[in-house]
Chain A
Amino acid sequence: MSGKEILDVTLILLEYLVPTLKLFFFTLLFSIPLGMVVALLKMCKFKPVSWLTNIYILIMRGTPLMLQIIAIYYAIPYLKISENLPVFLKNILDGIDIQGDAFMFRAVLTAFVLNYAAYFAEIFRGGIESIPKGQYEASEALGFTKIQTFFHIILPQVIKRIVPASSNEVVILVKDTSLANIVAYAEITLKAKQQMQIYSSLTPLFIAGAFYFVISMVMTVVFTFIEKKLNYYR
């Protein structure tokens, strides 16, 4: 490929950086809080809740994300054409336009959020459980309520401890967004694959690779900065 062609491909891919980043940031935005909730549910003393959460984590971590994207993406359309649905469900489904881009994005996002929440939940749980029992006893002795203990004493320490593991997940997520091309979500990898055909060359894929590399590098720098900021009381 000539320099001009490489520039052309780069410009097209640059346009599709937006959907890639959109998927990336929205996944983080929803999966981190959801992961926190899942972590707390897993540690719930009421066993059935804990078991159910375990099953959820097992499925999400035990099956390929690619498969989950396909399953969630086709679930609603298949429900729509199935017969004998209760009326209220039919009304809800009729309101969904499965041909629109919004539906595709939401379906893909749901799959990513559910998947990543499971991974984040395990990281958060590990962080919470790493806090010695003595601290809970001490704060109880000082008259803190359970909620105060969690938010003012436990959580700040947990955040410090989970940053390195979370940064791992975040960097993996950057590259995992490419899996969305399995349902033809228009992002960098899909476009690179299409451009490959025109030039009969693998170069577009490498250009796409450079994009992921740059985003990952930026995220690494951000996390290094965060880790430094949180490096107090040492």
Chain B
Amino acid sequence: MKKSLLKKVFGLSVAAFMMLTSVGCGSGSDDKESSYSAESDDSLQKVLDSGKFILGLDATFKPMGYTDENDEIVGFDIDVAEEVCSRMGVELVKQPINWDTKEQDLNVGKIDCIWNGMSVNPGRAEEMNLSEPYMKNSMVFVVGASSEAKGMEDLKGKTIAVQNGSTAQEILESCDIAGDITVQAMATNVEALQQLDLAIVDAVFLDSVVANYEIQTSGKDYVVLPDGLEEEEYAIGFRKNDQKLRDEVQKILSEMKADGKLGEISTKWFGSDITTVK
């Protein structure tokens, strides 16, 4: 008992120390990182050596990467990543993470990439080494079938639900009608749609990819308003230094586009090839 107590006390002091230092070193090390990228980049070799490519995902983003009825992680992104890994000759490890702390998980090396329908925004482009965008997405308003709203203008004075921390939230809060609407930030898109069902909110603002898939599979009679906002794109996020790993994945994606494999996977999930890889 005494020994484990000592460990605890030690652990506590280490933990307290770390809480202080982790804040400190987070801000200072940024400029150092970019300077030694090219020569000491062993990111690809590391993955090949370990035989594992660890993909971080939220595991709740249907249809890109989510947990299915049998508790298996599946989705469009997962199918593509499986194919990329088999061409690289490594095993794909699907690591569920909390979406709110994805940058931390990536930086500390818990995962090798973030690949879960992640929208490109300036902050993420700054923080990570992003792949070329592989799919286009727009943000749309979804309303109930009985709603009188026919366009964005009709939503003035209404309450609109959005996923908390998503790019949809950023866009909605800075759009033209932002001053006239009430934004309700929900943890997930499902909860947001649930609120729409219960008429707690008047509309939900979310990714068109998700909205269309949701309407197609749930059989609920939602209506997507015609005027969406802001086209955006999905990309894969790598660590700032991991240039070689990023380039390798990008190269394989292009090959897959060329030989039709990517189109095949896209057709399986979306009915047609909607990828934008070159």
Q: A34-B5, A193-B188, A196-B188 are in contact. Are A81 and B109 (CB under 8 A)?
A: yes
Q: Which of B60-68, B118-126, B164-172, B267-275 contacts A (4 or more CB under 8 A)?
A: B60-68
Which chain B residue lies CB-closest to A67? B19
From 160 to 212 in chain B, residues with beta carbon under 8 angstroms from any chain A beta carbon are 188, 190-191, 193-194
From 3 to 55 in chain B, residues with beta carbon under 8 angstroms from any chain A beta carbon are 4-5, 8, 11-12, 14-15, 18-19, 21-22, 25-26, 29, 32, 54
**How far is it, in angstroms, between the C-alpha of A9 and the C-alpha of B95 when the chains are bound?**
21
Minimal beta-carbon separation of B217 from chain A (angstroms)? 8
Q: B15 touching A74 by the CB < 8 A rule? A: no
Task: Report the tally of A-B residue pairs with Cβ distances under 8 A.
Answer: 117
Q: B68 touching A198 by the CB < 8 A rule? A: yes
Bitwise, A71-86 to B at CB < 8 A (1) or not (0) is 1101111111111000
A182 at the interface (CB under 8 A from B): yes
**How far is it, in angstroms, between the C-alpha of A186 and the C-alpha of B97 when the chains are bound?**
10
Minimal beta-carbon separation of B240 from chain A (angstroms)? 12
A137 at the interface (CB under 8 A from B): no
A191 at the interface (CB under 8 A from B): yes
Residues on A with beta carbons closer than 8 Å to the beta carbon of B188? 193, 196-197
A184 at the interface (CB under 8 A from B): yes
**How far is it, in angstroms, between the C-alpha of A114 and the C-alpha of B12 when the chains are bound?**
8
From 106 to 130 in chain A, residues with beta carbon under 8 angstroms from any chain B beta carbon are 110, 113-114
Q: B96 touching A81 by the CB < 8 A rule? A: no
From 88 to 140 in chain B, residues with beta carbon under 8 angstroms from any chain A beta carbon are 95-98, 101, 104, 107-110
Minimal beta-carbon separation of B253 from chain A (angstroms)? 24
Q: A75 touching B5 by the CB < 8 A rule? A: no
Residues on A with beta carbons closer than 8 Å to the beta carbon of B67? 191, 194-195, 197-198
From 13 to 59 in chain A, residues with beta carbon under 8 angstroms from any chain B beta carbon are 15, 30, 33-34, 37, 56
**How far is it, in angstroms, between the C-alpha of A65 and the C-alpha of B25 when the chains are bound?**
23
Q: B18 touching A79 by the CB < 8 A rule? A: yes
Q: A98-B110, A196-B190, A200-B190 are in contact. Are A78 and B66 (CB under 8 A)?
A: no
B interface bracket (residues with beta carbon within 8 Å of A): 35 or more
Which chain B residue lies CB-closest to A194? B67
Minimal beta-carbon separation of A99 from chain B (angstroms)? 6
Q: A191-B71, A194-B66 are in contact. Are A78 and B108 (CB under 8 A)?
A: yes
Q: A30 touching B193 by the CB < 8 A rule? A: no
Which chain B residue lies CB-closest to A59? B16
Minimal beta-carbon separation of B259 from chain A (angstroms)? 32
Residues on B with beta carbons closer than 8 Å to the beta carbon of A83? 29, 32
**How far is it, in angstroms, between the C-alpha of A110 and the C-alpha of B110 when the chains are bound?**
19
Q: Number of A interface residues, CB 8 Å?
A: 43
Give the interface centre of B14, B54, B95 by most chain A CB atoms within 10 Å.
B14
From 187 to 223 in chain A, residues with beta carbon under 8 angstroms from any chain B beta carbon are 190-191, 193-198, 200-202
Q: A194 touching B59 by the CB < 8 A rule? A: yes
Q: A74-B101, A183-B98 are in contact. Are A197 and B1 (CB under 8 A)?
A: no
Q: B96 touching A78 by the CB < 8 A rule? A: no
Residues on B with beta carbons closer than 8 Å to the beta carbon of A184? 59, 96-98
Residues on B with beta carbons closer than 8 Å to the beta carbon of A99? 54, 95, 109-110
Q: A75-B22, A78-B18, A194-B67 are in contact. Are A113 and B110 (CB under 8 A)?
A: no
Which chain B residue lies CB-closest to A186? B96
Minimal beta-carbon separation of A197 from chain B (angstroms)? 5
Q: A193 touching B18 by the CB < 8 A rule? A: no
> Could you jot down 30 A-B contacts, CB within 8 Å?
A5-B69, A12-B70, A12-B71, A30-B8, A33-B5, A34-B8, A37-B5, A76-B18, A77-B109, A78-B18, A78-B22, A78-B104, A82-B21, A82-B29, A99-B95, A110-B11, A113-B8, A114-B8, A182-B98, A183-B98, A183-B101, A184-B97, A194-B59, A194-B96, A196-B190, A197-B62, A200-B193, A200-B217, A201-B190, A202-B191
